[in-house]
Chains A and B, each alone.
Chain A
């Protein structure tokens, strides 16, 4: 805790903007209208009032916002952009370009539904459909974590062993548009924690380089291998940076994941983002009734915490995975990833997928209590489908 620390009552979006200001980006490129959040509005005000020395570029689309961010990063400057749902999808081509070029761009994404039907409310189908773009993906639970991850994000992304773009995901509305008390570290302390970007991977008149070059079958695969290695190395950097952040600012988030009451839990619910907050309350209530419940907060989905997940799963009886998305014709994307991780760790544990909270539908304490009940039913032999939707408004034929 620092004497210069400041407490503010702000929305998740504003917490992001304040975190970004502390991280001192050189250029912010953004498409300013729907599905944009107020993040970039606040940032443009900071640039206007002089509290952030930065170029603010209004661009004509999210595709251009990402392209501009790449141009900024290509000069060795610090780039920021923010988007949401359809905007993220429109950026898709640029996301691959940015990660392949190893530009440490940091981006905030408000997790919102993807059309059709047109829906502006929260779910995670936007960023989960972008898991393979080569970006680090973190999912935050509250406004404080959102603010802090803007600062940590640049440290991780810009680490020479990583040099990979970084996406910070906030659940749309329930986090982006709700207000919380947030503790802001001082600029001096953030400057010490996050020095200006220094990289060799930039345009330089003294050592001219060609960027985003063409590479044929002869070497393309090696470049992708290199990118994969960097992402795997990011795991260690994420842990180290989070620890250092914790030592300095008093908030350590658990690195790749955070376990709540999981040490001896028989029934573990794996969740991301804001749902974890509700799940903690439900776990407390269940524990008081003698149910051995726990919640695993998956913070990072890329890289994916395979080993850590395997360790927590060893003592469990049933693992439930909550997905605010569906990969049509299969299952929830997080479920696929969790199953793969568990199988690689040699676990033959029973897993169940609970899909819900789509298109902004609330995930209530009752929903999560029901989910834990279903996991207990599964353990006592009352078998159910491994993949099921919860919180349906209508009867299904299953």
Chain B
């Protein structure tokens, strides 16, 4: 599965590098979660059955399967907690972010 890639943005140094006509490449992500998450989901891989209910309900599409592991893309997870709320196996816990 393809995941978003974070590409640093270099400020243009010449007029030729300025975006033309207020148009720019779509999906150019310059940074991950900007620190607005208070709780983050943590997966207990032992309890997880890979039913993928969390994948279906995640509003940001940050949950994915890698082999037999359930993974969360913390660069883009906003910490809404829907996955933990919906998990029937109590495999996802919301844990306070440490700053």
Whether chains A and B associate is yes
Interface of A toward B, CB cutoff 8 Å: 100-103, 163, 200-201, 207-213, 215, 218-219, 222-223, 225-226, 229
Which residues of A have CB within 8 Å of B23?
A: 101-102, 201, 209-213
A-B contact count (CB 8 A): 52
* Interface presence of B35 (CB below 8 A): no
Chain B nearest CB, measured from A217 CB (Å): 13
Distance in Å from the Cβ of A224 to the closest Cβ of chain B? 10
On whether A215 and B15 interact (CB within 8 A), knowing A208-B26, A209-B25, A210-B25, the answer reads no
What are the residues of chain A within 8 A of B24 when measuring CB–CB?
209-210, 213
When chains A and B are docked, how far (Å) is the Cα of A211 from the Cα of B26? Answer: 9
> Are A219 and B12 in touch, CB under 8 angstroms?
yes
Q: Are A226 and B12 in contact (CB-based, < 8 A)?
A: no
**Complex CA distance for A223 and B20, rounded to whole angstroms:** 7
- Tell me how far the C-beta of B13 lies from the nearest C-beta in chain A, rounded to whole angstroms: 11
In the complex, what distance in Å separates the CA atom of A61 from the CA atom of B73? 45
For residue B20, give the distance in angstroms from its CB to the closest CB of chain A: 6
- The prevalent SS among residues of A at the interface is loop
Q: Tell me if A225 and B15 are in contact (CB < 8 A).
A: yes
Measured between beta carbons, the chain B residues less than 8 angstroms from A207 are 25
**Pick the contact of B21 from A201, A208, A222, A229 — CB < 8 Å?**
A201
Is the Cβ of B19 less than 8 Å from the Cβ of A219?
yes
Q: Does B95 contact A (CB under 8 A)?
A: no
CA distance A81 to B57 in the complex (A): 45
Q: Which residues of the partner chain B approach A212 to less than 8 Å between Cβ atoms?
A: 22-23
B residues within 8 A CB of A100?
Answer: 21-22
- Contact call A223/B26, Cβ cutoff below 8 A: no
Nearest CB on B from A311, distance (A): 30
Q: Does B30 contact A (CB under 8 A)?
A: no
Closest 10 CB pairs of A and B: A102-B21, A208-B26, A222-B18, A210-B26, A211-B23, A209-B23, A213-B24, A201-B21, A101-B21, A213-B22
B11 at the interface (CB under 8 A from A): yes
Interface residues of B in 5-33 (CB under 8 A from A): 11-12, 15, 18-27
**A101 and B22 within 8 A (CB):** yes
Q: Which residue of B lies closest to A211 (CB)?
A: B23
A212 to B19, CA, bound (A): 11
| Residues in A neighbouring B21, C-beta threshold 8 A | 100-103, 163, 201
